[in-house]
Copies of this chain bind each other. A is one copy, B any other.
C-alpha cells in the first residue's frame, strides 16, 4: 500500500467507517509521487491539471496573487490533505498551490477519480466531503480575518494545526514542526510582516504557546482554544454514516 493511500485511508477513517470494498477501491488508485522544493509551485493558477494531488509530507498552501505581487495564502495544507481534489472538478485552476517546505506530493489521474464516481458512490461521497471540509476551513479563515484580532487569528491557526496534525500523527507530545517564515504567516493571517512578528511575540507572552526553531509547542490547549473561541466542529472529525 502506497504512503499516499495509507494517509488517505487514515484521514477518511476519521470521517466514516471504510468497508472492505472501499479499501479495495482506494488501493486501486495509482499515485505518482513528485518532490517539490520550498517555495515552488505545485499547481499553477489558470493551469488545467489532469491529475489531483495529495500531500504526502511537507506543508503547502493555496495562494491568490495580486497585481502588485502581494499575495494571500488562503489555506494551509498538511500531510494527508487531498489538496487538489478541487482541480478535478474545476478543470481550470482559480488559484495556485505552493510548497511552503520541501514537500512530497502524490498525483492521481483525473480519469481514475472519474472512475471512482462511477464505481464507488460511498468513496465519492467521502472525497466530496473532503472538499466540503476544505470549504468549511476556508469559511473559518474568512471569519478569522474579517472579525478576529490578530492574536486570535494566530491562536486559532495554531489550534487548528494542532488538531489536524494530530489526526495524521504529526503531533509529538504537545509540539509539532512548523518550519514556516513569518512572512508566510503574515500572508496567511492577512497582516503585515511587522505586525505578524509582534503578534507572535504577544502569543509567546501569554505562555500558552512556545514557538522556536520551527517548532510550536502548545502548553495549554484548553486556554488557547478559549482565547480564540476554537470549536473544531468545522473539521467534521466525527465518524458518521456519510
Interface membership of A142, Cβ < 8 A: yes
Given A90-B236, A121-B118, A128-B131, A95:B139 Cβ within 8 A: yes
Name the B residues within 8 Å of A92 (CB-CB): 233, 236, 238
Known: A72-B142, A138-B138. 12 other contacts (CB 8 A): A66-B229, A67-B229, A74-B142, A75-B139, A75-B142, A91-B242, A114-B121, A114-B125, A132-B135, A138-B139, A138-B142, A146-B190
A192 to B174, CA, bound (A): 38
Interface membership of A71, Cβ < 8 A: yes
Min CB distance, A223 to chain B, in Å? 15
Given A62-B139, A64-B140, A91:B240 Cβ within 8 A: yes
Interface membership of A81, Cβ < 8 A: no
Interface membership of A170, Cβ < 8 A: no
**Are B64 and A145 in contact, with the CB atoms below 8 A?**
no
Min CB distance, A103 to chain B, in Å? 20
Chain A residues numbered 158-209 whose CB sits less than 8 Å from any CB in chain B: 189-190
> From A141, which residue of chain B is reached at the shortest CB distance?
B142
Task: Among B70, B71, B131, B141, point to the contact of A131 (Cβ < 8 A).
Answer: B131
Given A91-B236, A129-B89, A134-B135, A74:B143 Cβ within 8 A: yes
Chain A residues numbered 94-129 whose CB sits less than 8 Å from any CB in chain B: 94-95, 114, 117-118, 121, 124-125, 128-129
Name the B residues within 8 Å of A67 (CB-CB): 229
**Are B229 and A139 in contact, with the CB atoms below 8 A?**
no
**Are B90 and A132 in contact, with the CB atoms below 8 A?**
yes
**Are B146 and A72 in contact, with the CB atoms below 8 A?**
yes
Interface membership of A86, Cβ < 8 A: yes
A34 to B171, CA, bound (A): 46
**Are B91 and A143 in contact, with the CB atoms below 8 A?**
no
